[in-house]
């Protein structure tokens, strides 16, 4: 029995090393590329993401994101920026509280195997996502973070609900804190 346990531990250690040693490349794509050009992979990822709560937990973060379908009324109108865009609404959470909502355009990422989602209002807000099974996705927050995946690759898991903030009981109203005169 000890031999089986030792073998299992060795296999798990080797598989985690292989996963953390994964390297990513970057390819140059047209900066004006549209969703329609890569509609197959984009639609499969958006359909897998939409309607679920995705929890990302690291030492720095305890929150997540919910993706909802977005009806692009300008779709097919080539004279507009969003005419060829598959879009979603992303609602970002800190613990169980929504903190930001953004309409995001989906297009092929310059990191092969990933789909880029960038905010229509601010291209700095982006996620480069790939699905890892039905209940997990991995993401970079920009297309240049692929160089250091051990530090920058985030993992999100599908959950029924987000975690409650442990600080809820510590918050006081303005009157209780003395800020109210």
Question: What is the count of structural domains for the chain?
Answer: 1
Examine residue 8 and state whether it is found in any structural domain, yes or no. Answer: no
Does 3 fall in a domain? no
Q: Which of 31, 35, 33 is nearest to 45 (CA)?
A: 35
91/71 Cα distance (integer angstroms): 16
Are 38 and 107 in contact by the 8 Å Cβ rule? The answer is yes
Q: For position 82, which CATH number holds?
A: 2.40.128.640
Could you report the per-residue pLDDT of 1-22, keeping only the tens digit for each? 444 443 434 433 333 344 456 7
In a domain, 177, yes or no: no
Tens digit of each residue's pLDDT (9 = 90 or more) over 36-75: 888 888 999 999 999 999 998 765 668 899 999 998 887 7
Q: What is the pTM of this model?
A: 0.76
Residues with Cβ within 8 Å of residue 134, at least 6 apart in sequence: 48, 158
pLDDT at 89: 96
Q: What is the domain range of residue 86?
A: 25-164
Q: Is residue 126 part of a domain?
A: yes
Q: What confidence tens digit (pLDDT) does each residue in 123-132 have?
A: 889 999 999 9
What does the alpha-carbon distance between residue 58 and residue 152 come to, in Å, rounded to a whole number?
A: 11
- Please write the tens of the pLDDT for every residue from 72-86: 887 777 766 777 889
């Amino acid at each position: 029995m000890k031999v089986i346990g030792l073998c299992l531990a060795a296999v798990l250690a080797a598989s985690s090393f292989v996963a953390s040693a994964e390297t990513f490349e970057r390819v140059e794509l047209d900066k004006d590329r549209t969703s329609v050009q890569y509609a197959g992979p984009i639609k499969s990822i958006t359909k897998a993401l939409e309607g679920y709560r995705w929890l990302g937990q690291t030492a720095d973060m305890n929150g997540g994101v919910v993706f909802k379908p977005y009806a692009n009324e300008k779709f097919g109108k080539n004279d507009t920026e969003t005419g060829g865009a598959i879009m979603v609404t992303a609602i970002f959470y800190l613990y169980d509280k929504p903190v930001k909502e953004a309409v995001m355009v989906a297009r092929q990422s310059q990191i092969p195997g990933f789909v880029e989602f960038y905010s229509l209002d601010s291209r700095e807000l982006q996620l480069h996502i790939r699905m890892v099974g039905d209940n997990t996705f991995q993401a970079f927050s920009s297309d240049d973070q692929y160089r250091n995946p051990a530090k920058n690759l985030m993992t999100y898991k599908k959950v029924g609900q987000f975690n409650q903030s442990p600080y809820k009981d510590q918050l006081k109203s303005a009157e209780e804190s003395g800020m109210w005169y």
